Amino acid sequence: MKKTPFATKEKLEEIAAKYPTPFHIYNEKGIRENAQKVKDAFSWNKGFREYFAVKATPNPFLMDILHEYGCGADCSSITELMLSDAVGLKGHEIMFSSNDTPDVEFKKAAELGAIINLDDITHIDACLRALGGSLPETMCCRYNPGGVYTLSNGIMDNPGDAKYGMTHDQILEAYKRLKDLGVRHFGLHAFLVSNTVTNDYYPTLSKTLFDLAVEIKEKVGISLDFINLSGGVGIDYKPEDTPNDITIIGEKVHEVYDEVLVPAGLGDVALYTEMGRFMTGPYGALVTRVLHEKKTYKDYIGVDACAANLMRPAMYGAYHHITVMGKEDEACDHTYDVTGSLCENNDKFAIDRKLPKIEIGDLLFIHDTGAHGFSMGYNYNGRLWSSEILLHPDGTFDMIRRAEEPKDYFATFDCFPIWKKLEKEWQ
């Protein structure tokens, strides 16, 4: 089985002539169409907002596109807060969901008017300390019900073993304390699994959170203003996977909403999501050129990208489909390990992958890197981050992040005498 690239070989060669490989490329048309589908799927809920998970693809150009469709930003660090502010997101368009949070980050979130989502009951005191003894009128709490969810692909499917969120008893106590401290508007959040390829995850999670919302109303005496279903809605990395249907997901959540919340007098609760992978994942790719072929105990194809450009396969064996551009219709009758140049044996984009005959100079299109692709990059072995390219619907393209240069890598050495020598080297 195969996947179809969203750009032709000719277009990628045109781009590579201006912006050398490797580079991440994003399909603007696909991102826009998908953002509209998400908006439509939850249009029945008057308060709905998608908070795009900035960590997935922290690029202001893409965040700006998503903002056109009403998307806010889910942030997990002070730099993501700063980026969201720079893009023009304001106040409650920003959700701050972090853990093990420094005081300065609570302070920055409050300064921007972002919704602060507390990961632990002890963070109430931490937030009070950071904010000088008073809390914002709106606060959110993160719930961890424990147990095991069996709807994911194994990236994270055991809430009881996860570091995130509060227990059932802790979250009830947290809302009581927040109420006593003057908080007037409340939200509930949970993130239990990652990359589910099923239309049943959000409805299942909704039932868990909606039941808890009713209990909170009965036992604490507060009505939640919003419930954040967070992320976890995955994509079909493998050609044989059946992709999620966000329209069906929205309809199923609607059914649970009407079944649980409406009879309890909570029919005005706004629903939020904070998807990253689903919003941009399928609409990005890593484009890399073949440099070497090595034959020892196996056949290796060496490319000019490495795990520093796409960590997921090396980090947890994630599958990314590969298309050899120009050979889409040829038989996959060769077996290769596709590797990068890092001094680590797990620097492989594919292991024992059936592909057409590959030749030096071929372009490889590594699919579904639009989320947690570029953003997880790093500089091990002194490898530099690639550029990011946006392919517009009319076939034109723009660089939306330049490739890192040696001067960027060495910039943080400016406090050392060696800086002057290094500066001469790259000039």
Q: What is the pLDDT of residue 162?
A: 57
Write down the pLDDT at residue 229.
97
- pLDDT number for residue 398: 98
Among 246, 280, 314, where does a domain finish? 280
Judge contact between 71 and 52, C-beta under 8 A: yes
Q: What is the pLDDT of residue 364?
A: 98
Helices (H) and strands (E) in the chain, counts: 13, 17
Maximum pairwise Cα distance, the chain: 71
Whether 287 contacts 364, CB under 8 Å:
yes
Task: Say whether the peptide bond before residue 417 is cis (omega within 30 degrees of 0).
Answer: no
| Residues in the chain where the model's pLDDT stays below 50 | 152-156
- Residue 113 covered by a domain: yes
Domain final residue, candidates 280, 305, 322: 280
pLDDT value of position 414:
75
Examine the residue annotation and report whether 343 is marked as an active-site residue of this protein: yes
- Whether residues 244 and 349 share a domain: the answer is no
Task: State the pLDDT at residue 99.
Answer: 86
Per DSSP, 114 falls in state P
Task: Please identify which of the residues 75, 141, 343, 415 carries the catalytic annotation.
Answer: 343
Same-domain check for residues 290 and 239: no
Residue 8 domain-assigned (yes or no): no
CATH number at residue 216: 3.20.20.10
Domain extent at residue 395:
282-413
Domain harbouring 339, CATH code:
2.40.37.10
Looking at the fold, whether 254 and 113 belong to one and the same domain comes out as yes
Q: What is the pLDDT of residue 147?
A: 61
Backbone φ, ψ for residue 154 (5° rounding): 90, 0
Q: What is the structure's pLDDT at 415?
A: 74
